[in-house]
Structure 1
Amino acid sequence: MQEEVKGVKFKTLVASTKDWAGDTLPSPAAGQPELSIVEVTIAPGARLPVHKHPVLNGVYVLKGSLKVTLIDRKETLTLDEG
């Protein structure tokens, strides 16, 4: 829960115990966790090569939509704005 501060508004964009494929998130491993937030701009029609992320990740689509193909599940997700 965020502390109320005059002139500052907080809006939780995403809160979930599941990843974008609907799987329950794993318990964190021992050690120091690290958080990185990266803005990625993908031109309309651009395609990224098939790849995997070695860490937990999430996505927030600000504008447009993002199609994600889960190769191991033979499933494609379309993530829309918000």
Structure 2
Amino acid sequence: MASVAELKSAIDAALQQIGDGQAAVQAAGEKLTEAQQTLAGALEGSGHETVTAAHASLSQANQELQDCLSATLAAVEQAQLYSASL
């Protein structure tokens, strides 16, 4: 069985990895927002259903990234609570 110090160290490493993942998700969200703005500018005024579908898909992707960030925040909170209880 791992010592308390080893457990805390492993939790800290996992939290760092989560932080790295959160940064990547945030960067991806920013890129999707930029893509959506570029698409909107290029296709302004188009009412074609595929343009509407593209916007909807990008909006859904952004929402799912936000959901991912929320889930990771909850995971961080739980890991920190566990670490503090050791």
Establish whether TM, by shorter chain, passes 0.5.
Answer: no
Q: 1 or 2 for the larger relative contact order (CA 8 Å, sep ≥6)?
A: 2
- Normalized per residue, the structure richer in helix is 2
- Normalized per residue, the structure richer in strand is 1
TM range (shorter): under 0.3
Structure 1-normalised TM-score?
0.21
